Amino acid sequence: MFVPMKQVDVLCIGYACWDLNFKVKTFPGPDEKVVTDTLISEGGGPAANAAFAINRLGGTATLACRLSRDNWGKAHLKELQSAGVDTSCVLVTDAPTSLSSVIVTENGRRSLVNYRPEVKPGDFNFEGLTPGCILIDGHEPKGADLALHRFKNIPSILDAGSFRPATKELLGKVSYVVASASFACELSGSDKPADWIACLVQFQRNIAITDGGRGLYTLDGDRNIFHIPAIPVEAVDTTGAGDIFHGACALSLARGENLEHALRWANKVAAISVTKPGGRSSCPTKEEVDRLAIRND
């Protein structure tokens, strides 16, 4: 049977959950109850947030993840589709929705509790899809391996956030690795950026390490470490900023830009996102990013 080809900028493979984001003055202490009148309820998860961000930034994304048949899952699917995300590769299951309770203080600090039921690896079908780039968050290693095998000549990027054995196994299989400082620290056993880089280059030559408000580290054309500082902004909420960063980076790579350009553009996108409350809803539009670029030129 003939299957028409569907071209998208980025295929995002990984995790989806539902976020309950509470704003408080200070974190509650032991046996303390805190009341808030600010709640943002929306979809979350690294791959899902990245797909949402890609569409918000003017690109196109297909999301391969698992969503539940329950009310949270239905709401999440509707939210993604309303944002223009292609959900043809989403697997709907009977497992309950994974939930995250995010507590954010007035100074932008946050704590998170995640409920994640055990589920079987997803059997994804990528037939008829032609992505410009593949973004993997490590939560669906079976689906990631399938996509990397099917799209061998397509650039791929690994969002190495939390350290997991499955994510480590993907390091040498992708075109680019953008890791968090916590991942690099655990992998290398060191808290020094130079050691992080030295450790990661054993797996992959095209790397970057994000370190929150301290910016990010990568390698130049001569294989020397250089630092891209964070753009100075007043952070309100950092929820989802890393996911949005990875989505923006993948979109830039899909459009043929080099890694440094992609990192610098994603840096601007993430800087805007942390000035707004919420997770994926804080992602700016391309026009907002362009205005920031003009102000910083």
Question: Number of structural domains, the chain?
Answer: 1
CATH of the domain at 161: 3.40.1190.20
**Model pLDDT for residues 86-115, shown as the tens digit of each residue:** 999 999 999 999 999 999 988 788 899 999
Q: Which phi and psi angles does 212 have, rounded to 5°? A: 60, -130
Residue 39 located in a structural domain? yes
Q: Report yes or no: 258 and 136 within 8 Å, Cβ to Cβ.
A: no
Residue 2 lies in a domain: no
Q: Does residue 297 lie in a domain region?
A: no
pLDDT of 141 > 80? The answer is: yes
- If DSSP codes are grouped into helix, strand and coil, which group holds residue 66? strand
**Other beta carbons less than 10 A from residue 297's beta carbon:** 5
Which pLDDT does position 50 carry in this prediction?
Answer: 98
Over residues 164-203, the pLDDT tens digits come to 899 999 999 999 999 999 999 999 999 999 999 999 999 9
Identify whether 1 is part of a domain.
no
Q: Phi, psi at residue 258, to the nearest 5°?
A: -80, 170
Whether 203 is covered by a domain: the verdict is: yes
Exposure on the CB side of residue 9, measured as CA atoms within 13 A: 25
pTM, rounded to two decimals: 0.94
**Helix 193-200 vs helix 181-188: crossing angle, to nearest 10:** 70
Q: Is position 144 within any domain?
A: yes
Beta strands in 191-274 (DSSP E): 207-210, 216-219, 225-228
Length of the chain, in residues: 297
Asked if the structure places residue 160 within a domain, the reply is yes
Dist CA 217 CA 241 (whole Å)? 17
Range of the domain at 249: 7-291
Does 237 map to a domain?
yes
